[in-house]
């Protein structure tokens, strides 16, 4: 029965990929932190981006806790649950390293810009990547069938 459930979940998970060629609908555009804060003065942009980064860190922390809780309620053999918990921990660590490296790169693209440009780039990057990761974890957690 578990094999059938796993097979069906995999098949359903592949459905959007298979349909991508049929429907070439453009993905919804999500406003980035920089686009949201761009309406303010330079000093206020940095403050706005700092708030976005802080909120996204909280969102990510909650999504990580939610994913861990969903794994605890997952209708699967304990061995798979234990393995998934370990992989989640590894993924969270790897994500933090990736985010630091990627946002370091994004910051370097500001070049010789003056003022808050470097820090604004970093904060926008952190906010956006945290939000994307939180959305992914939440989606993954919701897809797990509970006991």
- pLDDT (tens digit per residue) in 90-139: 999 999 999 999 999 999 998 888 778 899 999 999 999 999 999 999 99
Residue reference for tokens 């349909």: 19
- pLDDT (tens digit per residue) in 9-58: 444 444 343 444 444 443 344 578 889 898 888 779 999 999 999 999 99
30 in a domain, yes or no?
no
- 77: which residues sit within 8 A by CB, 6+ positions away? 2
Secondary element (H or E) of residue 81: helix 78-108
Report pLDDT for 81.
96
25 in a domain, yes or no?
no
136 in a domain, yes or no?
yes
Q: Count how many domains the chain has.
A: 1
Residue 92 is part of which domain span? 44-147
- pLDDT (tens digit per residue) in 56-87: 999 999 999 999 999 999 999 999 999 999 99
24 in a domain, yes or no?
no
Residue reference for tokens 């206020």: 44
Residue reference for tokens 């992914």: 136
- 8: which residues sit within 8 A by CB, 6+ positions away? none
**Phi/psi at 146 (5° precision):** -75, 160
64 in a domain, yes or no?
yes
Report pLDDT for 5.
41
143 in a domain, yes or no?
yes
11 in a domain, yes or no?
no
14 in a domain, yes or no?
no
Instruction: Identify whether the C-beta of residue 57 lies closer than 8 Å to the C-beta of residue 128.
Output: no
- The CATH number of residue 95's host domain is 1.20.1270.180
Q: Give the pTM.
A: 0.77
Report pLDDT for 15.
39
Q: What angle do CA 85, 101, 92 make, to 5 degrees?
A: 10
């Amino acid at each position: 029965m578990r094999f059938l459930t796993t097979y069906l979940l995999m098949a359903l998970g592949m459905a959007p990929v298979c349909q991508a060629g049929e429907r070439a609908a453009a993905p919804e555009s999500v406003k980035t932190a920089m686009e949201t804060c761009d309406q303010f003065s330079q000093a206020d942009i940095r403050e706005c981006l700092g708030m976005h980064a802080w909120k996204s860190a909280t969102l990510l922390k909650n999504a990580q806790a939610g994913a861990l809780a969903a794994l605890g309620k997952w209708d699967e053999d304990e061995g798979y649950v234990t393995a998934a918990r370990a992989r989640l921990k590894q993924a969270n660590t790897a994500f933090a390293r990736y985010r630091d490296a990627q946002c370091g790169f994004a910051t370097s693209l500001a070049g010789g810009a003056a003022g808050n440009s470097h820090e604004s780039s970093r904060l926008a990057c952190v906010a956006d990547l945290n939000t994307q990761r939180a959305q992914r974890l939440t989606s993954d957690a919701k897809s797990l069938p509970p006991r």
